[in-house]
Amino acid sequence: MPNSDALTTLRGVGPEMAKKLETMGLERIEDVLEHVPFRYENYNSGTVTTAVHGDLVKWSGTVQAEPLVRYYSKGKNRLQFRLLLEERYVVHVTMFNRAFYKDKLALGATVTVKGKWDMNRMTISATDLEFGELADGLQPIYSLRAGLTQKNFSRIVKLAFDQTTTFEDRLPESIRLRYRLEDRASMLRGMHFPDSIEMYKQARRSYVYEECLLYQLKLQAFRKMERSGKGRALTLEKTQLNEFVKRLAFPLTGAQTRVIREIVSDIEKPERMNRLLQGDVGSGKTVVAAIALYATVNAGYQGALMVPTEILAEQHVASLEQLFEPYGIRVALLTSSVKGKARATLLEAIKAGDVDIIVGTHALIQGPVEFSRLHLAITDEQHRFGVEQRKMLRDKADLADVLYMTATPIPRTLAISAFGEMDVSTIDEMPAGRKPIETYWAKTDQIDRVHTMVERELSLGRQAYVIAPLIEESDTLEVESATELYHLLNERFPNYAVGLMHGKLSSAEKDEVMKAFADNSLQILVSTTVVEVGVNVPNASLIVIHDAERFGLAQLHQLRGRVGRGAHQSYCILVGDPKSDVGKLRLKTMTETNDGFVLAEKDLELRGAGDFFGTAQSGLPSFRVADPVLDLKVMEVAMQDAVRLLGSETFWQESSYRPLRQYLKRLDLLVGERLE
């Protein structure tokens, strides 16, 4: 029976059960077989004398006396009965809210109970009960929706196995033999019904490699498709480019020079560039982008720079205009604030090629914007834009190269999973002479000392950010928290202007507050994390972050990067009383290093892959079994194998690779004319 048959063809799965399974995305037998357990309970099925107090046990025995049921508040009940084990030990079993078992537990009946063993009282607090004896082994635990029990779903999985006569292997035998992997039937059986930990480990090992290979085939095929055909090779004036770099106000770091060579090399190739530029806060990504834009314009084409906020766009325009003025390069700003006749005139100029570099927000990718000869599209703070927005910019730039920039360093352990289809350039060196930000951790009862430090910086003519507590559960509570802090600081610092910014303000209102802070009309800016995106205020020398333990290390580092942009010594004060060891370690780590890459690795270690980027825009794949961090070595091997396979004639011709080719075909990722 093929795996693609509907679940209703299984004995005992009627329309009602099928509907429950459908809510979990399970419609076919194959879906059930692929819905593997997310964890296992390892019950000790040894003897009463070998079990340790507190063990999870799974023991079979015979009922010794009539069960007792006691009812207490609001219909809750407790079932108790005695069980004879090993024909010599009588133990007491307690189950809560299982009164319905009373009439079934006949004297002498054989049952198996699972639960926690209390050696002192000779009792088992049971969570589950089965009639008859059960075989040893790990107990699979599935992720299920309401209305489905572990017992019911395990029964359905068994039925699915019993009625599946053939299992099509996705991996050819040559790969399975090379890595000692199991065939599909053995792998799935080992995931659902492992007799031992060793059996589970081997099944998991096979499953992880298969998942990683499929994922890397998808990424590398996409990468190959992007690079094949469409593209435009530019001939760059190297002498003029070198002269432009020499005239910059400051020398480039070795890392900047290396990265520029990588980008220039891509621009000169006929394939489209698809590159991620990552660098720590203040490492000089913007000047790298400016050099790439200069090279593009000097070759006769247009460049576009998309940023998340209007004020950031305005700051980029101001700095680029100053940089490019001697060269006659025309820079324009396109945001939602540009309206009416001015907008129409600008759109016409962009279409006619009368503008060389267009800087803007998401307005850049909206309908009526037409470019004349766009060749380089740059997205700054790329994780702030959704996948669709990035795709729209790429589609606008038909033959163009695309460069993504981020100030959130991506740990090496995640880059291969999150950005495996991109080339990655890394600026891992800071400009010389930059003063490191001094970071301190203060307890909440030391807030007066913190305010004294704020007073000192303000008296020197500097400015300060004050970040309100992060309240993930409620935007409203977060705004209330920031507003309360704003009023408190207004009272504490009556001689200085205090501003307030939070997520409930409109974009225009946020920009208005940020402009006031940037021109020093406000000396203190109270804000939620909306200030995280890189606005440049060189006069700000102090940032205070309240309840700092609520933030991840990567986010704390981004917030810290709002200061340290001028010539003055800058400070970051983390205010918090973390209760957990992880919270304490997080704040301690922040005081010990300013290296964003070190912090990114530590953040990943403390929070795990799923939480590192946040949720919706993480770009991280969702695996059933594989873990991008724990299984990094497997992912690296799978990436090498995917590249090798896609470049091999064997992969495209031999029938054993047909399931993998069909997988790519379903994703519309077959390269060139290979349509089998």
180/285 same-domain check:
no
Is residue 387 scored above 60 in pLDDT? no
Is residue 675 scored above 70 in pLDDT? no
pLDDT band at residue 388 using 50, 70 and 90 as cut-offs: low
State the sign of the Cα–Cα–Cα–Cα dihedral 156, 157, 162, 168: positive
Question: Looking at the domain assignment, is residue 5 inside a domain?
Answer: no
Query: Quick one: pLDDT at residue 394?
Result: 63
Q: Residue 321 to residues 164, 317, 359, 364: CA-CA distances in angstroms?
A: 68, 6, 11, 19
Query: Quick one: pLDDT at residue 379?
Result: 87
| 471/166 Cα distance (integer angstroms) | 52
Question: Looking at the domain assignment, is residue 600 inside a domain?
Answer: no
C-alpha closest to that of 549 among 500, 607, 610, 614: 607
399/476 same-domain check:
no
Q: What percent of the chain has pLDDT over 70?
A: 88
Query: Quick one: pLDDT at residue 219?
Result: 82
pLDDT band at residue 525 using 50, 70 and 90 as cut-offs: very high
Contacts 24+ apart (CB under 8 A), 448-456: 450/544, 450/573, 450/575, 451/492, 453/542, 453/571, 453/573, 454/493, 454/524, 454/542, 454/544, 455/493
Query: Quick one: pLDDT at residue 226?
Result: 66
Q: In the numeric block, which tokens belong to residue 231?
A: 């593209």
33-47 tens-digit pLDDT: 999 999 887 766 678
Are 493 and 454 contacting, i.e. CB atoms less than 8 angstroms apart? yes
558-586 tens-digit pLDDT: 899 889 888 899 999 999 999 888 889 99
Is residue 128 scored above 90 in pLDDT? no
547/665 same-domain check:
no
pLDDT band at residue 1 using 50, 70 and 90 as cut-offs: very low
- Dihedrals φ, ψ of 361, to 5°? -95, -155
214-235 tens-digit pLDDT: 989 988 887 777 666 566 778 8
Is residue 641 scored above 90 in pLDDT? yes
Q: Lowest mean pLDDT: which of 7-21, 65-79, 81-95, 137-151?
A: 137-151
C-alpha closest to that of 543 among 644, 451, 466: 466
Better pLDDT: 595 or 493:
493
Whole-structure pTM value: 0.66
pLDDT band at residue 337 using 50, 70 and 90 as cut-offs: confident
Domain end marker among 367, 396, 427: 427
541/444 same-domain check:
yes
pLDDT band at residue 605 using 50, 70 and 90 as cut-offs: confident
Q: What percent of the chain has pLDDT over 90?
A: 44
60-84 tens-digit pLDDT: 889 998 899 999 877 789 999 999 9
In the chain, the N- to C-terminal Cα span, in Å, equals 25
Parallel, antiparallel or unpaired: strands 463-467 and 438-442 = unpaired
- Dihedrals φ, ψ of 482, to 5°? -65, -40
196/115 same-domain check:
no
Mean pLDDT across the stretch 205-215?
Answer: 95
* Alpha helices for 228-309 (secondary structure H): 238-246, 254-267, 285-298
How far does CA 506 lie from the centroid of its chain? 27
Are 489 and 466 contacting, i.e. CB atoms less than 8 angstroms apart? yes
C-alpha closest to that of 638 among 193, 214, 329: 214
Q: What is the CATH number of the domain that holds 383?
A: 3.40.50.300
String of DSSP letters for 135-187: --S-EEE----TT--HHHHHHHHHHHHHT------SS-HHHHHHHTPPPHHHH
292/383 same-domain check:
yes
Mean pLDDT across the stretch 125-140?
Answer: 77
Mean pLDDT across the stretch 648-662?
Answer: 92
Q: What is the CATH number of the domain that holds 95?
A: 2.40.50.140
- The one-letter amino acid code at 652 reads W
481/418 same-domain check:
no
Query: Quick one: pLDDT at residue 272?
Result: 83
389/263 same-domain check:
yes
Domain end marker among 374, 392, 427: 427
Is residue 673 scored above 50 in pLDDT? no
Torsion of the alpha carbons at 198, 604, 600 and 223, rounded to the nearest 10: 70
Number of domains in the chain: 4
- The one-letter amino acid code at 616 reads A
Query: Quick one: pLDDT at residue 151?
Result: 84
Highest mean pLDDT among 29-43, 227-241, 292-306: 292-306
The residue segments making up the domain with residue 527 are 438-593
Is residue 315 scored above 90 in pLDDT? no
392/531 same-domain check:
no
Question: Looking at the domain assignment, is residue 615 inside a domain?
Answer: no
Q: Lowest mean pLDDT: which of 5-19, 313-327, 615-629?
A: 615-629
pLDDT band at residue 614 using 50, 70 and 90 as cut-offs: very low
264/394 same-domain check:
yes
| 457/583 Cα distance (integer angstroms) | 28
Mean pLDDT across the stretch 510-537?
Answer: 84
Q: Any idea what DSSP says for residue 386?
A: -
Domain end marker among 427, 454, 471: 427
Question: Looking at the domain assignment, is residue 32 inside a domain?
Answer: no
| 670/676 Cα distance (integer angstroms) | 9
231's CB contacts (< 8 A; 6+ apart) are 269, 270, 271, 272, 399
Is residue 355 scored above 90 in pLDDT? yes
Is residue 8 scored above 90 in pLDDT? no
Question: Looking at the domain assignment, is residue 308 inside a domain?
Answer: yes
Mean pLDDT across the stretch 492-506?
Answer: 91
Round the average pLDDT of the chain to a whole number and report it. 86
69/123 same-domain check:
yes
pLDDT band at residue 314 using 50, 70 and 90 as cut-offs: confident
Question: Looking at the domain assignment, is residue 379 inside a domain?
Answer: yes
Highest mean pLDDT among 17-26, 231-240, 377-386: 17-26
Please report how many Cα atoms fall inside a 13 Å half-sphere around the Cα of residue 341, on the Cβ side.
0
Q: Where does residue 7 rank: exposed (0-12), middle (13-18), buried (19+ CB within 10 A)?
A: buried
Question: Looking at the domain assignment, is residue 22 inside a domain?
Answer: no
Strands (DSSP E) found in 503-569: 524-527, 540-546
| Count of other CB atoms within 10 angstroms of residue 17 | 18
Are 64 and 39 contacting, i.e. CB atoms less than 8 angstroms apart? no
Query: Quick one: pLDDT at residue 389?
Result: 56
Question: Looking at the domain assignment, is residue 156 inside a domain?
Answer: no
Better pLDDT: 620 or 593:
593
389/286 same-domain check:
yes
State the sign of the Cα–Cα–Cα–Cα dihedral 254, 425, 606, 628: negative
Q: In the numeric block, which tokens belong to residue 15?
A: 């329309």
